[in-house]
Structure 1
Amino acid sequence: PGATNASAGVHIAYQDSTPMILFIGQVGSDMVDREAFQEVDYRQMFAPLAKWAAQIDRVDRIPEYVSQAYHIAQSGRPGPVVLALPEDMLRESVVVKDAVRANPAKARPGQDDMSQLAHLLKMAERPIMMVGGPGWSNQVRQQVEAFCDRAALPVCSSFRTQDYIDNRHPSYVGHSGIGPIPSLKSAIEDADLLIVVGARLGEMTTSGYSLVESPNPKQTLVHIHPSASEIGRVYRPELAIVSTAQGFAEALSQVDVAPMKRDQDRVGKLHEAYLSSLTPIETPGDVKMEEVVKHVDASTDDRAIICNGAGNYAGWVHRYYQFRSFRTQLAPTSGSMGYGLPAAVAAKLDAPDQEVICFAGDGCFMMHGQELATAMKHNLDITIIVSNNSTYGTIRMHQERDYPRRVSGTDLSNPNFAKLAEAYGAWGTRVERTADFPAAFAAARAYKGPALIELMTSPEAISFGTTITKLRGGA
């Protein structure tokens, strides 16, 4: 059934805290529990993946269920809702009043919350803020940036939320994702006050729950989140504030941050360390991903939308691309392969006046490369950059690290991706040397319609920070 294909999207929405409603056609009520054609108990299937999974058995209750779905999807921590629709119910008709439009309550911090936060800030010598999670906007970003300026407070982004703060902002100190830069890692580990706005402090953000120890962090933890059930679930905060990002950002104007005990130069030093990390580390091979990403970064404007799925190729994007505007990064916090191209299609349909660029690995692209057909149908100007190293890079890296040379099932026999793009009617080209990428990128951007650049990268450059030779114990 199509709903089984949708399960990955539901899980992505759950981990990304994205409000979404999925309507599923179900077999007729007279067929239930007979293992009818394509029958699945969707309430059981989606129960662990969604905030709510239900079935509408009576046509007169459609307004009630749909209103409830909108309410649950948007309340507290937003997320996906699944509604199954039996075939016989869909054929019925009834006259019934529509439900009132869902308008979930939005949590805001109390005055005592902000007073306690102000006190903790005044006493802290090594504070740091981390941002992420749902409910952000460009206005929220600007308010948080202004507060960090005023409070001499360094701010970092949680896993794959780098567009929440302008990466050029003097208070921005890096991305707490896979392989954080050493200065940020130390700043989080050594912080005496950690203010987390919206983020869940998940596995990827905390480097396997090591940067922040569970359940009792050594840092004084202030956790701001729109869902009370999320606060304290993994970490016990000193101060828990149930609030949306917007409500908290608006309340920051009440916080008096002077006088402060801390070193006023600390933020500048951490920001400089972040800027230094943008200098590319050379990797093996004729096509160097670090140079490709740096060229894309230098060529695009502040509103360009960057999409990627899952794979080691994304590490170069997260390390070397500077996000400058809110909602310009589309990347799954669940690490779902194949996300990038469908996300790019959706982004271009939603924001036709913004440039959209999709990064993908060869294995990642093969998961949903057929969405080129959708891009062609709508004649979307998107640029797709496929890093082809003929391997499932992340899995290969783990194999070589833990069992050197004992590789199993990670080699790929790929098509010619440039020719595949042409078969769909798109523009395609192969790049086999780094020096050839700028011209190929310019041609792809100039093309009216989907354009794909296939990068012939080396599997030896298994990640932005190591090589297969090093993993095997070589120099």
Structure 2
Amino acid sequence: MRHGGRILSDQLVKLGVRRVFSVPGESFLAALDGLYDSDIQNVVCRQEGGAAMMAEAHAKLTGLPGVCFVTRGPGATNASAGVHVARQDSTPLVVFVGQIDSGHTDRETFQEVDYKAMFGSLAKGVFQCNDTARLPEYIARAFRLALSGRPGPVVLALPENMLSAKADVPDFTGTWRTPAAPAPYLWDHLLMRLAEAKAPLMVVGGPHWSPQAAAALADFATSARIPVATAFRRQDYMDNRHACFAGDLNVGVNPRLAQRVRDADCLLLVGTRFGDIETQGYTLVDPVGPGKAILHVHADADEIGRVYGPTLGVVCPGDVAMLSLRDALSRQDGWTGWAEAVAPARADYDHWQTPVESPGDVKQEQVIRWLSDNLPVDAILTNGAGNYAAWLHRYFTWKQHGTQLAPTSGSMGYGFPAAIAASLEHPDRTVVCLAGDGCFQMTCNELSTAVQHGAAPIVVVMNNGRYGTIRMHQERAYPGRVSGTVLANPDFAALACAYGGFGAVVTRQDQFADVFAQASGAGTVAVIEVRLDARVLSPGASLA
């Protein structure tokens, strides 16, 4: 006989869970008790949003579902921010929510929430286990659903009386899904359709990728002689130094790359949903009349044709697809490709990377180029949302897979929790979080979490004293009428020191390298506050 919390922890061990992220609550004390005797590390966070974002980042790094424990009511609502990130980023995440005693349901009991109603549009699945003996079944189902098709978040509510009750039940068994590649003739047919194009463009993205897939993409692009772009915040899917790399389709897209999307007569989409960010609000490619062939490869059949009617759709995860495409190309005789398009596409990308000078004594374009030129190739960079990210996306050169953690949902506050998760998973690698002053303050309380658990990321806070993205849009729509976008900020370096970390301030460009070296050698979480000229808005744009 085991109580529900022990059944839960034993099942997690069987599923290969090594680390969970939580904010404790009285609603799941039995689960905490179960974790006590396990070898699972429980990373105790300061706010449930940070915990859920750490779990989501952990999933991106490992390819397995991230696990988060939060309490009922306020805890669950705080965690919803991370659930939304996992949904839009197609990340496998399992959120266990402590729930009221099931015997008190529908009385508006203290902190009672109907989680099926609350998370219904955010999660892939929302369940509540009311029978202790069925816990293994529900847990295994949550994990498999989180990973299936297009991955995403699953929420499982756990009534406290169910968790504390005992049952004699075996752990659930079975294997993970094993994605199978479609028959070879389908890839041959896809390449036949691609060969008919005069000006194709390949776009890769989505949730399924690996170092092997990145290598296969590099080989495929070289042999196919085709320009390749990456989807929003998937820049590490291809070595950006590759001759066929044409750039990334982000919010502040290279206008020349945007035009290349418009002019393409065939799009080969692998893994990506090809949503509104990649298409600039569906203006680059009209869903009603695309005017080009679309060859769409995605892990979830429901995503193929959801927005754009494909010329050919293939249901397959992106990483498996790349291996199959490389093999299929090796079977093609007389392949010529589009060498005449590769060089101009690459030249457009190189031109876009040429720094545009910003005002002030510290220049973000130079900071990012320094990081790009001096960080180890396996350094992990994280960020949340804000105009500061435009410099990172434009001027940093990603060199290998598994080095970029950023929310395609555009969630502020994500970068720092993600950096903590990355530092815990890879303590031997350099982890750098780029954050704006507004973005960092969304989750900077997790400095305490980093110190407690020994995470040592370096946070570079770009401080311009405002919500920069909103101010930029405000200046466009209502010039000179500043409202609600100015920030009163703390001394970020002093704040880091108060938590037990390292802190420093950079006010001149020539200080950055030395300060970064000090932060790297500190052996603890570090915050470098970069004080920017208040006129800076975005690369190439500033206030008078």
Q: Does 1:305 align with 2:393?
A: no
- Displacement after TM superposition at 1:267 (Å): 0.5
State the 1:260 CA deviation. Answer: 4.8
CA distance in 2, matches of 1:204, 1:239: 23
Q: Measured at CA, do residues 270 and 257 of structure 1 come closer, stay the same or move farther in structure 2, by a change above 3 Å?
A: farther
Letter in 2 for 1:364: C
2:253 counterpart of 1:180:
yes
CA contact (8 A) 1:221 1:237 kept: yes
Query: Are the counterparts in 2 of residues 122 and 259 from structure 1 also a CA contact under 8 Å?
Result: no
| Distance in 1 separating the partners of 2:262 and 2:541 | 24
**Residue 208 of structure 2: which of 135, 139, 154 is its match?**
135
Q: Is the 8 A contact 2:226 2:338 kept in 1?
A: no
Q: Any runs of at least 4 consecutive aligned residues in structure 1 with deviations exceeding 4 A, and if so which?
A: 260-263
Shift of 1:105: 4.8
Of the structure 1 ranges 300-309 and 275-284, higher mean CA displacement relative to structure 2 is found in 275-284
Q: Check conservation: 2:420, 2:456, Cα contact below 8 A.
A: no
Query: Which of 303, 315, 330 in structure 2 is aligned with 1:242?
Result: 315
TM-score by length of 2: 0.84
1:254 is the counterpart of 2:328: yes
8 Å CA contact retained: 2:385, 2:411: yes
The 5 A counterparts of 1:350-369 are: 350-369=425-444
**2:146 corresponds to which residue?**
73
Residues in 1 aligned to 2:206 and 2:333: alpha-carbon distance in whole angstroms: 28
Q: Is the 8 A contact 1:290 1:316 kept in 2?
A: yes
State whether residues 51 and 79 of structure 1, in contact with CA within 8 Å, keep that contact through their aligned partners in structure 2.
yes
Q: Is the 8 A contact 2:230 2:247 kept in 1?
A: yes
Separation (CA, whole Å) in 2 of partners of 1:371 and 1:308: 15
What residue in structure 2 maps to residue 158 of structure 1?
Answer: 231
Unaligned runs of 5+ in 1: 470-475
Instruction: Tell me whether 1:60 sits opposite 2:143 in the alignment.
Output: no
Q: 1:223 aligns with which of 291, 296, 305?
A: 296
Structure 2 segments unaligned to the other structure (5+ residues)? 1-73
Alignment match of 2:361 (pick from 286, 290, 305): 286
SS at match of 2:301: coil
Q: Distance in 2 between matches of 1:317 and 1:97?
A: 49
Cα distance in 2 between the residues matched to 1:6 and 1:444: 31
- Give 1:36 shift: 1.3
Aligned to 2:475: 400
- Separation in structure 1 between the aligned mates of residue 283 and residue 144 of structure 2, nearest angstrom: 35
Identity %: 47
Cα displacement (A) at 1:74: 0.7
- Contact map agreement 2:379 2:429 (CA 8 A) in 1: yes
Q: Which residue of 1 aligns with 2:155?
A: 82
Say whether 1:45 aligns with 2:108: no
Within 2, Cα distance between the matches of 1:8 and 1:52? 16
Size of the alignment, in residue pairs? Answer: 469
Aligned 8 A contact 2:224 2:336 in 1: no
Contact conserved, 1:375 with 1:450, CA < 8 A, in 2? yes
**Which position in structure 2 is the counterpart of 1:379?**
454
Measured at CA, do residues 216 and 96 of structure 1 come closer, stay the same or move farther in structure 2, by a change above 3 Å? farther
- What is aligned with 1:29? 102
Could you say what secondary structure the match of 2:303 adopts?
coil
- 1:175 & 1:257 partners in 2: Cα distance? 28
Give the secondary-structure state (helix, strand or coil) at the position aligned to 1:229.
helix
**1:198 aligned onto 2:271:** yes
Aligned to 1:370: 445
Residue type of the partner of 2:328?
Q
3-state secondary structure, aligned to 2:422: helix
Please tell me whether the aligned partners of residues 271 and 318 of structure 2 are also in contact (alpha carbons under 8 angstroms).
Answer: yes
* 1:11 pairs with 2:84: yes
1:157 partner amino acid? T
Conserved 8 A contact 2:224-2:338: no
Are 1:123 and 2:196 counterparts?
yes
Instruction: Give 1:261 deviation, angstroms.
Output: 6.2
2: CA distance, partners of 1:260 / 1:181: 30
Deviation at 1:269, TM superposition (A): 2.0
Q: Quote the Cα distance in structure 2 between the aligned partners of 1:83 and 1:288.
A: 46
Question: Would the alpha carbon gap of residues 172 and 187 (structure 1) be closer, same or farther in structure 2, given more than 3 Å must change?
Answer: same
